[in-house]
């Protein structure tokens, strides 16, 4: 490893509480805590695929003969963990499922009938399981992550509810909203964090310190809600980024060194296996790329997970889209391509209705043009990405590569979430995209973990 490239991963600090990660997904939240010196002792995840990804990256590749627990957290007794942490105690962290809170999840539930409205979804109350573990294990601290929509769940502000519950049990607690881009993640991703630390051990109460700043004065949709959030006594407004900080990391900053996969729409598609090693296109060109390659004790020389979806119909549309274009622009491009093909093949919509219909199906995407404009979006290499979501497991139209005519690869999605290049996805492409889209960005998690360390250790 280059001496001038400081590694992100720290050795375990023996005086810190050990971490148990519930609703862990593939391990984004845990990875940030590990990078801050915490030992990741164990965790629970209901998805078998995500559990295997966690086990591989936290245990198996480090020679540890143990498995992440794949189970429904409701069926696991906290007593299982009681003898698994040392005298330094434990921290319970987790991101309970967000489907009951998120706009996409609510819409999907509504489509299934009135009895499936979001407030009837038992997943909306799974945070109680996390609190159960915290109280029964007498944990030193609690961290809960979720989407901003959790602040209004059928009229209930879930983060405020959790904070009040923690305070009744002897914790000092706050909740806040953090933007991943402020913490070195090349993605505008706003998430709620609830933090609770036991009153009998707390030294201070620290909010995470931003490491980057926006290079414009625009505020996000959720930042506009700070005035409303401030009505709740446990809400703390996040720290403002200092003007001396570097600008937000862009998509180009994040992925420019990765191998070329599909230079133009006539390129031959190749389905790469996720465990296949490829040479980088270049050496690291900035600090973010160095960090992604040197997260652990050695510098990565090759990269894995560089596979993308075969969208044969749409490659030529992607190619003609400008960076920042959305589905409205893609639709106009598709119409022009159809018009040209009709002219070349002498097909008239009125005189040749069947041939026209067949050709249109071959060229034009069928999605509703009056809504869901963001269903297709070509990334702008000079800006951070918009939020990655689990729907990437179905398609990657929402994140079209900025200069190649394709959707982003698994490794590019991982980079946009700040997963390091030595984090391997030993699963299907769909599972990998879903795990990445559901994850907490490790660099954001690391900032939260560092703030809790200051609160616990008084440094």
Q: What are phi and psi of 370, to 5 degrees?
A: -90, -5
- Residue closest to 441 by CA, chosen among 155, 223, 248: 248
* pLDDT score of 65 more than 70: yes
Give the CA count within 13 Å in the CB-facing half-sphere of 353: 1
Report the chain's C-alpha Rg in angstroms: 23
Active site annotation includes 342: no
Residues 238-266, mean pLDDT to the nearest whole number: 97
pLDDT reading at 1 higher than 90: no
pLDDT at 28 over 90: yes
Q: How confident is the model at residue 2, as a pLDDT?
A: 38
Token pair for residue 421?
A: 């290049």
Count Cβ atoms below 10 Å from residue 60 Cβ, excluding itself. Answer: 16
Of 328 and 114, the structure prediction assigns the larger pLDDT to 328
Mean pLDDT value of segment 135-158: 94
Q: Choose, from 26, 90, 98, 342, the residue flagged as catalytic.
A: 98
How many angstroms separate the CA atoms of 169 and 154, rounded?
Answer: 25
Residue 192 and residue 175 in contact, taking contact as beta carbons nearer than 8 Å: yes
- Name beta bridge partners: 146: 192
Q: How far apart are CA 331 and CA 420, in angstroms?
A: 35
Give the burial class of 447: count Cβ atoms within 10 A of its Cβ; 0-12 exposed, 13-18 middle, 19 or more buried. buried
pLDDT value of residue 374: 84
Predicted pLDDT at 217: 74
* φ and ψ at residue 76, rounded to 5 degrees: -110, 130
What pLDDT sits at residue 103? 62
Q: What is the mean pLDDT of residues 17-37?
A: 97
The top-scoring range by mean pLDDT among 80-84, 100-104, 106-110 is 80-84
Picking from 430, 426, 440, the residue whose alpha carbon sits closest to that of residue 305 is 426
Burial of 171 (0-12, 13-18, 19+ CB in 10 A): buried
| Position 298 confidence tier, pLDDT thresholds 50, 70, 90 | confident
More confident residue, 424 or 204: 424
pLDDT at 424 over 50: yes
Domain 18-248+439-457 has CATH 3.40.50.150: yes
Q: What is the mean pLDDT of residues 131-156?
A: 95
Tell whether the model's pLDDT for residue 418 goes beyond 60.
Answer: yes
Q: Copy the structure tokens of residue 442.
A: 């490790």
At 8 the pLDDT is 61
pLDDT interval class at 5 (50, 70, 90) = very low
Rounded alpha-carbon distances, angstroms, from residue 419 to 50, 115, 194, 227, 350: 14, 38, 22, 33, 53
pLDDT of residue 385: 98
Q: What is the DSSP letter of 385?
A: B
Q: Position of tokens 């920042």?
A: 324
Supply the pLDDT for residue 120. Answer: 61
Q: Which pLDDT does position 219 carry in this prediction? A: 86
Lowest-confidence region among 104-113, 117-126, 394-403:
104-113
On average, the pLDDT of the chain sits at 92
- The pLDDT of residue 369: 87
Angle at 437 between CA 206 and CA 393, to 5 degrees: 170
Looking up tokens 């971490």, which residue turns up? Answer: 19
pLDDT tens-place string over residues 360-371: 999 999 988 888
Q: What is the DSSP letter of 456?
A: H
3-state secondary structure 118-157: HHHCHHHHCHHHHHHHHHHCCCCEEEEEECHHHHCECCEC
Mean pLDDT of 144-172: 95
Other beta carbons within 10 angstroms of residue 455's beta carbon come to 21
Task: Decide: helix, strand or coil at residue 49.
Answer: helix
pLDDT on residue 4: 41
pLDDT of residue 376: 95
CA distance 1 to 296: 9
Concatenating the DSSP letter of every residue in 69-97 gives EES-GGG--GGGTTTSS-TT-EEEEE---
Q: What is the pLDDT of residue 372?
A: 78
Give CA–CA dist 421/184, Å, rounded: 16
Whether 165 shows a pLDDT value over 80: the answer reads yes
CA distance 295 to 7: 5
Q: Map residue 70 onto helix, strand or coil.
A: strand
């Amino acid at each position: 490893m280059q001496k001038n490239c400081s590694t992100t991963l720290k050795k375990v600090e023996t005086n810190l509480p050990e971490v148990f990660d519930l609703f862990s997904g593939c391990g984004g939240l845990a990875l940030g805590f590990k990078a801050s010196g915490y030992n990741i002792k164990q965790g629970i995840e209901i998805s078998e695929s995500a559990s295997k990804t966690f086990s591989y990256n936290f245990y198996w590749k480090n020679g540890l003969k143990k498995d992440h627990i794949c189970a429904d957290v409701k069926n696991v007794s906290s007593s299982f963990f009681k003898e698994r942490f040392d005298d330094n105690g434990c921290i319970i962290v987790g991101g309970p499922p967000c489907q009951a809170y998120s706009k996409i999840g609510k819409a999907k539930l509504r489509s299934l009938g009135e009895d499936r409205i979001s407030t009837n979804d038992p997943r909306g109350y799974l945070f109680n399981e996390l609190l159960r573990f915290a109280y029964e294990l007498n944990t030193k601290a609690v961290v809960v992550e979720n989407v901003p929509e959790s602040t209004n769940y059928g009229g209930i502000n879930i983060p405020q509810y959790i904070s009040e519950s923690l305070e009744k049990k002897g914790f000092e607690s706050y909740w806040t909203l953090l933007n991943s881009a402020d913490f070195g993640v090349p993605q505008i991703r706003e998430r709620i964090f609830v933090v609770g630390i036991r009153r009998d051990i707390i030294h201070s109460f620290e909010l995470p310190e931003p490491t980057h700043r926006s290079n414009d004065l625009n505020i996000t949709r959720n930042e506009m809600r700070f005035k409303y959030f401030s009505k709740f006594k446990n809400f703390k407004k996040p720290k403002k980024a200092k003007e001396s900080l570097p600008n937000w990391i862009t998509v180009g900053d994040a992925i420019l060194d990765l191998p070329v996969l599909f230079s133009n729409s006539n390129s031959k598609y190749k389905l790469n296996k996720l465990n296949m090693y490829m040479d980088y296109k270049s050496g690291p060109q900035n600090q973010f790329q160095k960090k992604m390659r040197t997260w652990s004790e050695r510098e990565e020389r090759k990269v894995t997970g560089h596979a993308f979806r075969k969208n044969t119909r749409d490659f030529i549309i992607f190619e003609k889209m400008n960076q920042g274009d959305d589905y409205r622009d893609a639709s106009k491009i598709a119409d022009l391509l159809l018009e040209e093909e009709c002219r070349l093949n002498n097909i008239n919509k009125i005189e040749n209705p069947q041939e026209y219909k067949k050709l249109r199906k071959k060229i034009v995407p069928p999605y509703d043009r009056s809504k869901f404009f963001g269903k297709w979006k070509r990334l702008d290499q000079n800006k951070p990405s918009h939020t990655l979501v689990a729907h990437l497991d179905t398609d990657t139209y929402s994140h079209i590569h900025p200069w190649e005519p394709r959707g982003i690869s698994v490794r590019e999605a991982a980079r946009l979430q700040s997963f390091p290049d030595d984090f391997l996805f030993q699963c299907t492409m769909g599972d990998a995209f879903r795990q990445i889209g559901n994850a907490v960005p490790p660099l954001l998690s690391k900032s939260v973990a560092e703030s809790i360390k200051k609160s616990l250790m008084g440094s």
